Amino acid sequence: MRKQFELLLQALLAAALAASMMGCAATRPPVRIQSAIHTINRYMPEYVTEANKAIEATDHPDKERLTGIGDRLAAAIQALDAWANGQGKDGNEEQ
């Protein structure tokens, strides 16, 4: 009897977790957050390009790692902007 109760409790927990994850995937951030993410995305590539140029001009020992970090940050902001605007991975609007 105890095993059945534990199994039922685990199943309910899994169902609740799945439902909450579906809700998170279907919601979008508030408009002010969408606007902030869009503004950051608009300027981030330029900042990263300039920072990478400055790093390359110096003989910094970690220049490859630092330029990679900048590029990954720009890509992450672009992905956040696409999500905030309701676009899927392929750039199309989610239904």
Sequence-ordered list of residues with C-beta below 8 angstroms from that of 72, at least 6 positions apart, any chain: none
CA–CA–CA angle 25, 30, 32 (5° rounding): 140
Is 51 part of a structural domain of the chain? Answer: yes
Task: Answer for the pair 94, 88: CB distance below 8 angstroms, yes or no.
Answer: yes
Domain of residue 77: give its range: 29-84
pLDDT tens digits for range 62-75: 888 888 898 899 89
Cα dihedral angle (70, 75, 77, 79), rounded to 10 degrees?
-170
Is 91 among the domain residues? no
Contact 84, 37 (CB under 8 A): yes
pTM of the model: 0.57
Please tell me the predicted confidence (pLDDT) of residue 95. Answer: 39
* 93 in any annotated domain: no
